[in-house]
Structure 1
Amino acid sequence: MVQNILLNLYRKTPIINEVRDLKIFNPEVKLLRILIHGPVGTGKSSFINSIDSIFQGRMAQGALAEASTYDGSFTTMFYPHKVKDGKGGFLPFVINDIMGLEDGSGGAHVDDLKMALEGHLKEGIPQVILLTKVDTACPEVCKDLRLIYRSKKIKEKMQECSNKLGVPMNCIFPVKNYDHEIDLDDNVDKLLLSALKNILNFANDHVAEHHDKNKKKEQEKTSSP
């Protein structure tokens, strides 16, 4: 199992092509929308920049990321980020970045998040966890990112997240964002791309299910006397 995971980390280009060629299952939906939220300093903007960097083939800074010593949120509003596909167009999704969750008046609050999701909470939006900064959690992973699924510390962190937040383990993705690097790294890219691919698949399944439900309701209306 571990060998298969390690081998899969070397398959980067197919995932890039899969994301670029993604077909949304609901014809009424033009873009899949991802809302990324969490406490200040957890790497929300860095994740967006990292994804952007992969598809640009160079370091990108479309979303201003906070420095590790900064104790506030650089994101000051609810901001949608489109990601260029590296071929003159855009990828079929938008990542919505929201100000970091903080106590007091400095950042976003849970009520702000509810407002951002207004009208959609009852639909049961798919949720995942991005376990960021894995290189700081485990020295072995810091040395070799390919060992991430062998690490007991990372597995413990994933299990802790699952227990506290009720999210299944297969919806928790350990990743490393680009923060101090000046060049792309294949192993970083592959973890990020794997997480992104799964997020998009979950979102696509959701809009397809929503479309099928609406279609069924319309059919019931037309067939009723």
Structure 2
Amino acid sequence: MGGNASKDAISEVFEEDWREIPMSKEQYLDYVKNYQLHHDEIQQLRILLHGPVGAGKSSFINSVDTVLQGRISGRALTDGTFGDSFTTEYRTFKIQKEVQGTFYPFAFTDIMGLEEGTNKGVTVEDIKLAMKGHVNDRYRFNPTAAISDKDSGYNKNPSLNDKVHVLLCVVSAETLSLMKPEASADQRDEMTETMRKMREVRLAARDLGIPQLAVLTKIDEACPVVKEDVGNVYKSTYVKKLIEELSAFLGIPPSYIFPVKNYHWDITPEDVSDRLILSALKQMIDFGGDFVNKHM
């Protein structure tokens, strides 16, 4: 951010929280650990993550796993550099419960990131086909061509269990900063194109009736008061503004956008970060449950 006025603006706080985290960590954990899915055709709610390269999709999956396991997890491979998407496959992650061999009734599917241009990142068509259940696990994406029914990774007859039940848009606070006037024209053009693709995915999900949420990652890197204390997240005027901007770009209501601090630097779980992650997870589970109940 450039200029003293901008630095002052991102450090402003409200006297009171503009949003409450309604439950304690223990209450969230109790809800998630006791959640049961009552549907004969579905073993797990499938939550598909999509968003720009470097948004923190894989890190969010690891962060959920970290909270539920009570220790730092790194099952979804991540990369600390920016550039091409580190995730290249369609990969589903089940989260193991305390009893060996048992899993939570929801799973996260990670995909290649969206990028500007026609030959970079996952294609919008691939995401649309994935939402319909046509992409098999471990399919390696081809940025130059969407999957076809002739590919070995194409699922011609998807079951309800193969289809996506919740679409989760993952965007970092750093990404939104590239949409601002302080960024270069090239950076703004690139992010505008990426946001256009994300909006196209959102509309396709709407047509399929798939519920949608968003998480705003890297809030601690974007806002000094959150970096100082993550408990300030809902006092931060800047985080509130970023959520409003993301809502305007994508059309997702602000109440469906959850700011989170992924476990990237930390090596031990932390209560407020856990509660932010769990509040987003609970909403995903609730929305996914509502969606599949319509198909009973």
**1:20 correspondence with 2:105:** no
Displacement of 1:73: 1.6
The correspondence for 1:117, drawn from 106, 113, 131, is 131
Structure 2 unaligned regions, length at least 5:
1-15, 134-162, 164-204
TM-score (norm 1): 0.86
State which drifts further: 83-92 or 179-188. Answer: 83-92
Aligned residues: 208
Structure-1 residue corresponding to 2:178: none
The correspondence for 1:147, drawn from 232, 237, 243, is 232
CA distance in 1, matches of 2:249, 2:77: 30
**1:50 correspondence with 2:63:** yes
Structure-2 residue corresponding to 1:70: 82
Answer yes or no: is the 8 Å Cα contact 2:19–2:234 preserved in 1. no
Answer yes or no: is the 8 Å Cα contact 1:55–1:86 preserved in 2. no
Alignment of 1:1-225 (within 5 A): 2=17, 5=20, 8=22, 11-67=24-80, 69-88=81-100, 89-104=102-117, 105-118=119-132, 121=205, 122-211=207-296
- Moved segments of 4+, more than 4 Å: none
Bigger fraction of residues in helix: 1
State which drifts further: 82-91 or 124-133. Answer: 82-91
Q: Deviations over 1:151-210 (max 9, x none)?
A: 110111111111111111110001010112111111111100110011110111111123
Do the aligned partners of residues 207 and 136 (structure 1) sit closer, same or farther apart at CA in structure 2, a change above 3 Å counting?
same
State which drifts further: 125-134 or 109-118. Answer: 109-118
CA distance in 2, matches of 1:4, 1:129: 16
Q: Output the amino acid matched with 1:207.
A: V
Structure 1 unaligned regions, length at least 5:
212-225
- RMSD (Å), alpha carbons: 1.9
Q: Deviations over 1:116-167 (max 9, x none)?
A: 1136644310011111111122111111111111111011111111111111
CA distance in 2, matches of 1:115, 1:106: 18
CA distance in 2, matches of 1:3, 1:77: 38
Displacement of 1:112: 1.5
Answer yes or no: is the 8 Å Cα contact 1:20–1:92 preserved in 2. no
CA distance in 2, matches of 1:202, 1:184: 26
Identity %: 43
